[in-house]
Amino acid sequence: MKAAQQTREEELTDTPCFVGRIPVRNLWLLMLYASDLFRTRGIGMVGLEDSPDDLPDLIAEILAHAVEVRQRRRLSLGYRSREAALNRVRGRIDVLATERRQLLDRGMVACRFDELTIDTPRNRFVRAALEAISRIVQRQDVAHRCRALAGSMKAQGVSGEPPTRAQMSTDRFGRHDADDRLMVAAAKLAFELTLPTEASGANVLTLPDREATWVRRLFERAIGGFYDVVLSPQGWQVKCGGTLGWQISQKTTGIDIILPTMRTDVVLDHPITGRRIVIDTKFTSIVTNGWYREETLRSGYVYQIYAYLRSQVGRGDALADFASGLLLHPAIGQMVDETAVIQGHPVRFATVDLTTTPAEIREQLLRFSEPTLLSASQQ
């Protein structure tokens, strides 16, 4: 046991890439769990998380393969708006521009029209992802393959300027371009993996509040993505980002404006066994200094998970009547896993150690889906 512990410590010491005190390879693991790629075509089942240090190379290969498949069938086309002076009418006539520039005297007319093009925001995004991940992969053949594909897309007319987040947020898949899903999912994860580190090099990232907020949101998405892929084949139903309603019998007209919404991070349902686990993730220390003791659970978080559970009792949902709660925090070298049954609801307070190995992180997350103390309905 001591030898294994020493080996793990040497592994962490030999890895120079950290953000704060979290190894970048474990951030890559969280990115994998949070990504659409983890849920796509069973990729979450092939053990990508077993080798997080090799994750950029694996994702680069998946992205390169997806792009090659799409190029063999031709990249998807899209429409873009253009304005031009033409010698024939195309689309709509811009009367003001035509008169101002006196185009009719030259036998031309100003037109506004949509043009079919390969230079779409989606294709520009994929080309930029190929170029970005080619700079962080370890295998030179994979890096060359990504650069060659980016060059091929450039030759086909895909420009190098990546789209903005606003442009990509409006991107929707239709029936004719559904095969782009894998390619875009891999491209999104490739961009995430290019996260800079606090190690020496060209890119430097400290951990101010902005990055802490980003990691907190990443942790939330990773927990939901992991349970969705791993537990769904076992009969679990995973819901991420749901809302809960208050049991209100009477109210004044203005209460809806000021009453806070109860929004859960993850809810796990197992209809066969009648179990429900309401998970609330946090990104602070699980304990704080108390008035009369050195460490105590944060009371606000306890009240919050209690409200999530008790507010749903008696509404005709058998799973809610005896649901359990999980208050889950990431931690640095700290392990907490305690449970108390409060008014028939087991409430678990636990941490995930983000400095440990990926296999141990996976084992910790799987353990939290197992019952500890039972509620009254399960005894």
Residue 134: its pLDDT value, please?
94
Residue 197, pLDDT above cutoff 60: no
Average pLDDT, the chain: 83
**8 Å CB contact between 283 and 331:** no
Give pLDDT tens digits for 333-361: 788 999 999 999 999 999 999 888 888 89
Q: What kind and span of H or E run contains 40? A: none
Contacts of residue 367, defined as CB under 8 A and 6 or more positions apart, other chains included, come to 337
- Beta strands per DSSP E along 13-52: 18-19, 22-23
Where in the chain are the domains?
A: 13-76+119-193, 78-117, 209-247+261-367
Cα–Cα distance, 199 to 207 (Å, whole number) = 13
Residue 372, pLDDT above cutoff 80: no
Residue 9, pLDDT above cutoff 60: no
Give pLDDT tens digits for 204-262: 333 444 456 777 788 899 999 999 988 998 999 999 989 999 999 999 999 999 999 99
Nearest residue to 78 via CA among 118, 123, 113, 128? 118
**8 Å CB contact between 192 and 35:** yes
Q: Helix axis angle, 209-231 relative to 358-367, nearest 10°?
A: 70
Band of residue 176 on the pLDDT scale cut at 50, 70, 90: confident
Task: Please give the C-alpha separations between residue 272 and each of 5, 313, 325, in angstroms, as whole numbers.
Answer: 39, 20, 19
Q: For 51-55, 57-61, 183-187, 292-296, which range has the lowest pLDDT when averaged over its residues?
A: 51-55
Task: Please give the C-alpha separations between residue 111 and each of 90, 97, 150, 188, 203, in angstroms, as whole numbers.
Answer: 6, 9, 33, 36, 46
Band of residue 377 on the pLDDT scale cut at 50, 70, 90: low
User: Average pLDDT, stretch 1-20?
Assistant: 44
Residue 302: its pLDDT value, please?
95
Residue 304: its pLDDT value, please?
95
Pick one of 3.40.1350, 2.30.30, 2.60.40, 3.40.50 as the CATH number of 209-247+261-367.
3.40.1350
Q: What is the DSSP string of 253-293?
A: TTHHHHSPPEE-SEEEEETTTTEEEEEEE--S-SEE--SSS
Residue 378: its pLDDT value, please?
56
